[in-house]
Copies of this chain bind each other. A is one copy, B any other.
Amino acid sequence: MSSAPENPPADKAAYTHETVFKTRWKDNDVYGHVNNADYYGYFDTVINEMLISEGGLDIHNGETIGLCAESHCKFLGPLSFPGSVDAFLRVAQLGSSSVRYELALFDGETGEPAAVGWFVHVFVDAQTRRPSEITDQMRALFERLQVA
């Protein structure tokens, strides 16, 4: 039975990786706050920045790349421009060629929770796009980020 994973907690202490970044003019939509689709762009940025700087991912010439297989977001509060985002991540599930990250976003000024969600990466061969083993360096990173 494959029921969907539950939403992770809006609790900074529950996560193992953190990064901060500024919002941009165009993140705000016509209703004056960061658009829902941009939250997923934040997820993508947080994840890939980490994979590149700590996991050895080479997005230009690497043999193995990560593609998003499924993602999810529950919106808890607004973010806006100008402002900043305090983003948290942990590894929830680790397979031979896939990983499920859990993420939480907070308003960088107030500390209020803005969203929690998750994102599944399947690692594939950059040419054939068929599933490929997670590399040793990447796996070591994911194990460090996993919660007990």
A contact set with B: CB distance below 8 Å? 3-6, 21-22, 24-26, 28-32, 35-38, 40-41, 43-45, 48-49, 52-53, 59-60, 65, 67-75, 81-82, 126
Q: Complex formed: what's the CA distance from A38 to B29 in Å? A: 13
A45 touches B26 (CB 8 A): yes
Contacts of A26 in B (CB 8 A): 26, 29, 35, 37, 41, 44-45
Pick from B22, B30, B40, B65: contact of A40, CB under 8 Å: B40
Contacts of A30 in B (CB 8 A): 28-30, 32, 59-60
Contacts of A74 in B (CB 8 A): 69-70
Contacts of A37 in B (CB 8 A): 26, 37-38, 40-41, 43-44
A29 touches B31 (CB 8 A): no
Contacts of A49 in B (CB 8 A): 25, 81-82
B60 touches A69 (CB 8 A): no
Contacts of A24 in B (CB 8 A): 21, 41, 44-45
Contacts of A81 in B (CB 8 A): 45, 48-49
A44 touches B36 (CB 8 A): yes
Q: Which 8 A-B pairs have the closest CB atoms?
A: A4-B4, A36-B68, A37-B40, A37-B41, A25-B45, A25-B44, A24-B45, A28-B30
